[in-house]
Amino acid sequence: MPKTIVQTVKFNAPPEALYALYTDSRKHSEATGVKAVMSTKIGGSCGAWNGGLKGITLGVVRNRVFVQTWRSNDWGSDQADSVLAFFFEKDGKGGKVTMVHANIPDEHYPGIKTGWTTYYWTPWKKYIANHGNGKKSKS
């Protein structure tokens, strides 16, 4: 039976910067170190990991919510797309992301669950540390 992953991660960056880190193709690619193409248009195509993941944008509330379908190239043709939702919120002086990844095929669940930390959350924290937290500097 397909599984769901829910993870909440805090960052030293505001929600707007975290939203941009995922939805801006250039920033997404820089942060993960692998080419990604994101679309914030409903029905727009998305891809990550040099085309290893493909999806469609389902819903957008700028700087707050981003929802997509996703599937990996190694999923069987009989396996449905997963649904991936991000919720971006303020958390103290920074922000947090709550990620809900639903309808993951059983055999891919363990790798995807750990992969979020390995391939996204840890690189995002490093990217933010190296590029600033996204807040505009005061002149």
Report the mean per-residue pLDDT for the chain.
94
* Distance of alpha carbon 85 from alpha carbon 99, whole angstroms: 6
CB 83 within 8 A of CB 4: no
Per-residue pLDDT tens for 35-80? 999 999 999 999 998 889 999 999 999 999 999 999 999 999 999 9
Task: Report the CATH architecture of 3-131.
Answer: 2-Layer Sandwich (3.30)
Q: At what angle do helices 15-23 and 25-32 cross, to 10 degrees?
A: 90
Cα 99 to Cα 59: distance, rounded to the nearest angstrom: 14
At residue 50, the pLDDT reads 87
DSSP state of 16: H
CA pair distance 115, 117, nearest whole angstrom: 5
Please give the C-alpha separations between residue 13 and each of 9, 18, 24, 50, 90, in angstroms, as whole numbers. 11, 7, 15, 26, 9
What whole-number percentage of the chain has pLDDT above 70? 95
User: Is pLDDT of 21 > 50?
Assistant: yes
User: What is the spatial distance between Cα 48 and Cα 54, in angstroms, rounded to a whole number?
Assistant: 7
- With 60 as the cut, is the pLDDT of residue 17 above it? yes
Confidence of residue 135 (pLDDT cuts 50, 70, 90): low
The mean per-residue pLDDT over the stretch 98-120 comes to 96
| Phi, psi of 126, deg, nearest 5 | -65, -45
